[in-house]
């Protein structure tokens, strides 16, 4: 099946700094990728849809200036958490849709654990 990777798997940063998380589709091209945030004991919440060659689409309530998304190529999307604060500590997961016609099926990366101190 399709493989999605994320880097880094864990990152600790100081409050006020920025952190970049990479999401790559390893054996297929993805014009769209999704970024989720997973809170402890809670669901995955969709943050934004990353679109290759155009601006990301953010879900309601997600600060686009804080969570910068860049879909640099057909295999890479990045999420930058700017001016990080302890409340941004979370598990961030990216995904890419399956082949055309799979209607919502997604392939998920392993996630990135961000801790802001």
Partner 1 sequence: AQSVSQHNHHVILSEAASLELGCNYSYGGTVNLFWYVQYPGQHLQLLLKYFSGDPLVKGIKGFEAEFIKSKFSFNLRKPSVQWSDTAEYFCALGGGGNKLTFGTGTQLKVEL
**Positions that interact with partner 1 (CB under 8 A):** 4, 32, 34, 41-46, 49, 93, 95, 97, 103-106, 108-111
Q: How far apart are CA 49 and CA 44, in angstroms?
A: 14
The nearest distance, CB 96 to partner 1, in angstroms, is: 9
- Nearer to partner 1 by Cβ, of 63 and 105: the residue is 105
The nearest distance, CB 37 to partner 1, in angstroms, is: 11
Residue 70 class from Cβ within 10 Å (0-12 exposed, 13-18 middle, 19+ buried)? middle
Helix (H) / strand (E) element for 24: namely: strand 19-25
- Nearer to partner 1 by Cβ, of 81 and 94: the residue is 94
């Amino acid at each position: 099946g399709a493989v999605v990777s994320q880097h880094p798997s864990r990152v600790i940063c100081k409050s006020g700094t920025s952190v970049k998380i990479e999401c790559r589709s390893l054996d297929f091209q993805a014009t769209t990728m999704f970024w989720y945030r997973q809170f402890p004991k809670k669901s995955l919440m969709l943050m934004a849809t990353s679109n290759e060659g155009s601006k990301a689409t953010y879900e309601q309530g997600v600060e686009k200036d804080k969570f910068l998304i860049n879909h640099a190529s057909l295999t890479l999307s990045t999420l930058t958490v700017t001016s990080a604060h302890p409340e941004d500590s979370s598990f961030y997961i990216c995904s890419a849709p399956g082949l055309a016609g799979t209607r919502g099926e997604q392939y998920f990366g392993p996630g990135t654990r961000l801790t802001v101190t």
